[in-house]
Structure 1
Amino acid sequence: MPDIIGEYVDRLVTVEMRNRAMNHNIIGGIYEQARAEGGGRPISARAAQALVDAVRPGDRVLIVTGAGYAPEAPNGESDGPPGAAALAHALFWGLRAVPVFVTEPCHAPPVVASSQAAGIMVRDYALCHDRRMGAALAVSPERQEEVAAWAAGLLDAYRPSAIVAIERLGPNEHGVIHYSTGVRPEACIDLAPLFELAARRRILSIGIGDNGNEIGFGRIFPFMKDFHPYGRRCQYEGGVGVPTTVATDIFFPASISNWGAYGLSAMLAFLCGRLDVLHTPAVEREVIRACLDAGGWEMRYCTSRFIVDGTEGESSMAIVQLLRDMVRVNIASPDRGLSHGDLDH
């Protein structure tokens, strides 16, 4: 049964809605490649089961997000923090885990605002660890040379059972981070060392992304080099392409990274047999609005309009509603109603 619902969860969150001037008509091919590389099962089902198997009550799960930089989007964008908040909600209520958000200082305000709008308050780690009171927050250094030591200390301190990247940019083969159309942002911190160290420590890792430049896409790096419109070029001389080399144990591409996180949360709700593990469309509205108001703007025109990756916020609300209905009807007791005869016949 998980693979049946997972099939349709994956279909829903990979419905592409992109302006034709952007990288478009690509998510279907990316998804099929990622699914085949991962063994053929629906990816949302595989990722959710991996979390259920790895995470026990009280365990910490790192949720790494943050994309978009000054001067265009000094606190990041509206794709990433809402997905991180949704997953934190699912982990907290479904697996009784302690979510720990990991991000750069500039991205922290939208991440905190999104989580608190989802009802997961961001608290001191001692309260989270000792009493499971909400989610914790860990911010990275602002100097790249300090990241490796910080990453080791973070994993030592939190001893996570899993680490999930949602719309977190990763470097290409030259160690350069890009936006999806070959633009190179300034003053960004590369958090890939955290995933490299997690791999060495055999910590389960999941990557969710939508355009080739996010952590996780490294699992299908050779494919992306040839398939992606900016696989081998950038918008500056000498650029070799935007796809990241950073892989995760499981990679889940979606049309919008938030939607991938919602799909994973829906599968956790299904496996837990509890609809409340997945947030509601009404909460989704509050989360997106909180993210935008905290500076996590829509990335196309860098405004606080109710938009995520070019799609109206109501579309994200609709995705959440459809996912909730998928979970609801699949966890309900078998029931034909009154007009379809006896279930035993």
Structure 2
Amino acid sequence: MFELIDRIVGLDIGGRGVTGLYAPARAMTSEPICAAAARTLSALQPGDRVFILTGSLSRAGVSTAIAENDGPIGAAVLARALTYGFNAIPVVLVDESIVDKTAAMIERAGPNVLTQDQADIAVATPRYTSVTVVEAGVIDDSAARAQAADLVERHKPKAVISIERAGMSADGTYRNMLGQDYSEGRARLDYVIDEAKARNIPTVGIGDGGNEIGFGAIRDAVAEHIPHGDVLCANSATDIVYPVGVSNWGCYAVAAALAILTNKPDIAHSATLERRLIEASPGIGLIDGTTGRLDATVDGLPVAVHEGIVNLLAQAVRKGLG
């Protein structure tokens, strides 16, 4: 069933070339990628932290306040699964310019966005409260290194998941899918991955284009299969790399696999919630990264396409738990 989940979300409907990235990424794991990623989360206890890195400032050269909905929606769905299923505390790390937008999307999914102290109180209180914390990364390189060390030491996350988060390329810049430099205003969250790996904390990189954090682990495949791949490929290498058709789908797949592994069907995503989140995007101020418009679409695809993927995943969960 896990192989089926990988196939569902691996549909390269945008024709970006990610199909060619799956085999080398799969060779890094002993089981289908969704299961390998979910297994890093399957033993969470109440109060455990999981870092979720996201945020694509896809028009940074115009304004660093412009970010896309691919990434924050997936992060919201994954955060929901972790807090609903385990009473864990997801800590979502983004650029300062989009903290409010990311928090708004997460709250549309169900969790309350609180401070660290409030989240700790909520988890320790007998009456359940779903919580997530959103924090801003920093841009300055030396400050970002120090912040990464502090974050990992302070929270001691059980895993670090990056979704649709551009990673530094070989020349230290951040590159979009055209190979263009779009580094303006971008927090250097790559160092969080470095700090986690140094402490043997599992790391997962989810993306749909090869320029995302983690894809340095399959650099040769990115260069071969992705246009401008030799220029845009991220340097950082995560333990698990999950190439998918749309980055949000990778989070949905992990939530589905986690639902099967832990026998918790309620943490899987639903088409109803998917529509709610996509339709909320324009009001929140998150664009479709492909069209550049404040539309209820993701990567140029209408809601119905994303609902279809989610419905297929839901069927896989039912079969997996059957």
Class of the TM-score when normalised by the shorter of the 2 chains: over 0.9
Question: What is the Cα deviation at residue 228 of structure 1?
Answer: 2.2
Contact 2:207 2:243 in 1 (8 A): yes
Q: How does 1:78-157 map to 2 (within 5 A)?
A: 78-132=69-123, 133=129, 134-157=131-154
Aligned-residue CA RMSD (Å): 1.6
Q: Secondary structure at the match of 2:27?
A: helix
After TM superposition, the structure 1 = structure 2 runs for residues 176-215 of structure 1, keeping only pairs within 5 Å, are 176-185=173-182, 186-215=184-213
What is the CA deviation profile of residues 290-321 of structure 1, one whole-angstrom value per residue up to 9, with x for unaligned ones?
Answer: 33322210012311111111111221122112
TM-score by length of structure 1 reads 0.86
| CA distance 1:149–1:25, change in 2 (3 Å) | closer
Q: Is the 8 A contact 2:64 2:185 kept in 1?
A: no
Question: Mind listing any 5+ residue stretches in structure 2 that lack a counterpart?
Answer: 124-128
- Once the two structures are superposed, the pairs formed by residues 15-30 of structure 1 within 5 Å of their partners are 15-18=11-14, 24=15, 26-30=17-21
1:237 aligned residue: none
2:64/2:97 contact within 8 Å kept: no
Amino acid at match of 1:258: N
**1:138 is paired with a residue of what secondary structure?**
strand
Aligned pair count reads 313
1:291 is aligned to 2:285: no
> Which secondary structure state, in structure 2, belongs to the residue aligned with residue 135 of structure 1?
strand
Which residue of 1 is the match for residue 65 of structure 2? Answer: 74
Which position in structure 1 is the counterpart of 2:291?
301
Counterpart position of 1:238: none
Deviation at 1:72, TM superposition (A): 5.9
Q: Work out the CA distance in 1 between the residues paired with 2:146 and 2:16.
A: 40
Equivalent position SS for 1:38? coil
Identity of aligned residues (%): 33
Answer yes or no: is the 8 Å Cα contact 1:37–1:220 preserved in 2.
Answer: no
CA contact (8 A) 1:210 1:254 kept: yes
- Where structure 1 has 5 or more consecutive residues not aligned to the other structure, the ranges are 19-23, 233-240, 333-345
Distance 2:132 2:27 in 1: 34
Residue 285 of structure 1 and its aligned partner are, at CA, apart by 1.4
Please list the CA deviations of residues 197-224 of structure 1 after superposition, one character each: whole Å capped at 9, or x if unmatched.
1111111111101101001101111232
Computing the radius of gyration from Cα coordinates, the structure with the larger value is 1
C-alpha distance in 1, partners of 2:29/2:217?
A: 9
Pairing 1:189-338 to 2, within 5 Å after superposition: 189-232=187-230, 241-332=231-322
Give the distance between the partners of 2:213 and 2:117, measured in 1 at CA: 29
**Whole-angstrom distance in 1 between the partners of 2:95 and 2:205:** 18
Q: Does 1:57 align with 2:53?
A: no
Q: Secondary structure at the residue paired with 1:94?
A: helix
Question: Which residue of the partner structure matches residue 338 of structure 1?
Answer: none
Q: CA deviation at 1:114?
A: 1.4
Corresponding residue for residue 9 of structure 1 = 5
Q: What do residues 145-202 of structure 1 show as CA deviations (whole Å, max 9, x unaligned)?
A: 3111111111122111111000000011111111111121133222111111111111
User: Which is further off, 296-305 or 124-133?
Assistant: 124-133
Give the CA deviation at 1:74: 2.5
Aligned partner letter, 1:326 = A
Query: Closer, same or farther in 2 for the Cα pair 1:112/1:291, shift >3 Å?
Result: farther
Instruction: Confirm or deny: 8 A CA contact 2:207 2:244 kept in the other structure.
Output: yes
Normalised by the length of structure 2, the TM-score is 0.92
Whether the 8 Å CA contact 1:64–1:168 is kept in 2: the answer is yes
1:34 maps to which of 8, 21, 25: 25
SS of equivalent to 2:161: strand
The one-letter code sitting in structure 2 at the alignment partner of 1:7 is: E
What is the one-letter code of the residue matched to 2:258? L
Partner-residue secondary structure (3-state), 1:29: helix
State the Cα distance separating 1:230 from its structure 2 match: 0.4
Q: Is the Cα contact below 8 Å between 2:291 and 2:299 reproduced in 1?
A: no
**Separation in structure 1 between the aligned mates of residue 206 and residue 303 of structure 2, nearest angstrom:** 20
